Amino acid sequence: MYDVLIRGGKLIDGTGATGFSADLAIKGDTIVAIGNSIEAEAHQSIDATGKVVAPGFIDLHSHADMSFFIDPDADSKITQGVTFEYVGNCGISFCAPLIGEAASDLNTRKAWYDTDWSPDWTSFSDFLDALEKTGSNINVATQVGHGTIRKAIMGMDTRAPDSGEMKQMQALVSESLDAGALGFSTGLSMAPGYYSLAIEVFELVQVAADRNKLYSSHIRDSSTEGPGLFVATMEALEAGRRTGAKVQVSHLKANGPLRGRSSDLIEMIDKAQSDGIDAAADVYPYVSASGPMSGNVFPRWALEGGREQALERLQDADLRAQIVNGLEQAFEKFSGPSKIAIANYAPDASLEGKQLPEIASQMNCTESEALARIYEGFDAQLVITGMAQQDVDLISAAPSVAIASDGSSLRSTGPLSAGKPHPRSYGTFPRFLKRVRETNLVSLEEAIRKMTTLPAERLQLTRRGRLAPGYFADITIFDPEKVIDRASFEDGLQFSEGIQHVLVNGVLVVNDGETVADVSPGQALMGRFRR
């Protein structure tokens, strides 16, 4: 007898192959049979007639590092059909290692969510042990962040590391990867990543390459020409050429004045592949981004030494004028201040969801001065609109580009419901499926490959990302004619529709469109020796 038997659906196995009608049988956490009209009894039978049966979606770019400790249900992700999250992106591994100033990013995140949760560990190994013990509705793996490592050893210094500091950073990266991190990430457009020279990055990427681990790069720039977007992309690819690492260019985009240049980015990655570099990218299907004010608009020089020193500079009239001028210049990247809104601001929730010109009018000051005042209160989370749909579509359609959220695991109630978050945390994958249905951007089979087999291959996951006997039963069943995102910038906490059933390791976590209570079948995947 099978545990679960899925009957009558259209199976799209994740490889890009044409879908076909078949039944699928599950025993324990594993797919054991696929075939026409499987005649057998099962403890649970699911009628998938008129639905697509696909591998569970893999979110290759998530920032849900601490979410599982606050609320392990991962409702915003499983209701999208996501069964696996890869965290620790953009150079920030919020939860480890927590040494010295490395905890500052976690503390900011805690303030956004207004939670008093605190970790009882410092090492990456202990973090992974805690993650495994916590349990979740979703599978999760993590990487170690360059910014976190740099803060642990050098704080917010703008200089290059000396030889001793470099050895310490290499040792921390080694320790984290050997503990079970699946990769190494950088966030080179934000402090302290942008203080590092390319040679520092290459030496640390080499540590990951020596262990055959993925290197994910939030590149230095996405909105300026010359020594901007294209040089930044070349730096990420050069890391792969020099070290042999697998390179993942995170949330590939062409912002602001570079809208319309996405084809050049794809050509760069294609050329790197032809030169023998194992390079790929990911993208989220929105024209708006989101991130902390300090990492997106605040002048880099003003953040030297950390937030306290930045606040001291804002008290100096001359330095404040320079900072405000720098903020004014940042608007050019996104075609003006009207493209910036506040997503999360712990000191004053009334600002959340408002665009910057409205806030400036309330404060009776310029938009740049308003941002300076906001930063004095706290490092706000922003939503910034700077991309064009044609670029998002072109990047999304490229064969080597996976679909990923750049969001988190959130919930409509409790601490994880704070602010006016970007809708990608609730809507990324159904939004892409809707876009494919409406525009024929790619075939449905190719769309699913981009959310399953492709990210699984980038992470070298075994027995995941595909529907086949012997693979783990991470499965999403959806209505291809009705799947749609409902989350918006006005209300980013709205569940998507059309995802009927989701199984994680053979256990239903979404049944008939509703989340299932009191289950936690997810696994913490650590290193290649773990399943």
Does some domain include residue 504? no
Does some domain include residue 196? yes
Question: Which residue, of 369, 384, 399, is where some domain finishes?
Answer: 384
Does some domain include residue 435? yes
pLDDT digits (tens, 9 = 90+) for 39-55: 899 999 999 999 999 99
Question: Whole-number mean pLDDT of the chain?
Answer: 95
Task: Name the percent of the chain lying above pLDDT 90.
Answer: 89
For the residues 485-497, what does the mean pLDDT come to?
Answer: 96
Q: What is the token pair recorded at 193? A: 């990543």
Task: Mark whether 351 and 427 lie in a shared domain.
Answer: no
Does some domain include residue 7? no
Amino acid 295: pLDDT: 83
pLDDT digits (tens, 9 = 90+) for 138-157: 999 999 999 999 999 999 99
CA 329 from centre of chain: 27
Task: Mark whether 378 and 448 lie in a shared domain.
Answer: no
Question: Which residue, of 365, 384, 403, is where some domain finishes?
Answer: 384
Task: Mark whether 96 and 122 lie in a shared domain.
Answer: yes
Inter-residue contact 343 to 289 (CB < 8 Å): no
The secondary structure of 290-334, three-state, reads EEEHHHHCCCCHHHCCCHHHHHHHHHCHHHHHHHHHHHHHHHHHH
Domain holding 73: CATH number? 3.20.20.140
Question: Which residue, of 358, 384, 410, is where some domain finishes?
Answer: 384
Amino acid 529: pLDDT: 39
Does some domain include residue 502? no
Task: Mark whether 214 and 124 lie in a shared domain.
Answer: yes
Task: Mark whether 195 and 314 lie in a shared domain.
Answer: no
Q: What is the token pair recorded at 472? A: 């783990």
Inter-residue contact 40 to 25 (CB < 8 Å): yes
Question: Closest Cα to residue 425, out of 141, 74, 110?
Answer: 74
Straight-line distance from the first to the last Cα atom of the chain, in angstroms, rounded to the nearest whole number: 25
Task: Mark whether 270 and 343 lie in a shared domain.
Answer: no
Task: Mark whether 380 and 391 lie in a shared domain.
Answer: no
Please compute Rg for the chain using Cα positions. 22
Cα separation, 504 vs 510, in Å, equals 9
How many other CB atoms are there within 10 angstroms of residue 512's CB atom?
9
Does some domain include residue 26? no
Cα separation, 242 vs 202, in Å, equals 7
For the residues 451-473, what does the mean pLDDT come to?
Answer: 97
Range of the domain at 373: 293-384
Amino acid 6: pLDDT: 98
Q: Count of domains in the chain?
A: 2
Task: Mark whether 158 and 140 lie in a shared domain.
Answer: yes
How many other CB atoms are there within 10 angstroms of residue 522's CB atom?
25
How many other CB atoms are there within 10 angstroms of residue 438's CB atom?
9
Task: Mark whether 69 and 114 lie in a shared domain.
Answer: yes
Strands 214-218 and 246-249: parallel
pLDDT digits (tens, 9 = 90+) for 218-256: 999 877 656 689 999 999 999 999 999 999 999 999 988
Does some domain include residue 516? no
42 bridge partner residues: 2
For the residues 123-129, what does the mean pLDDT come to?
Answer: 95
Q: Which residue has the tokens 């240049």?
A: 261
Task: Mark whether 374 and 391 lie in a shared domain.
Answer: no
pLDDT digits (tens, 9 = 90+) for 266-283: 999 999 999 999 999 999
Task: Mark whether 329 and 231 lie in a shared domain.
Answer: no
CA 276 from centre of chain: 26
Does some domain include residue 259? yes
Task: Mark whether 133 and 158 lie in a shared domain.
Answer: yes
pLDDT digits (tens, 9 = 90+) for 195-221: 999 999 999 999 999 999 999 999 998
pLDDT digits (tens, 9 = 90+) for 361-415: 999 999 999 999 999 999 999 999 989 999 999 999 999 999 999 999 999 999 9
| The overall pTM is greater than 0.85 | yes
What b-and-e string marks burial along 319-328, b requiring 16 or more CB atoms within 10 Å of the CB? bbeebbebbb
For the residues 126-137, what does the mean pLDDT come to?
Answer: 93
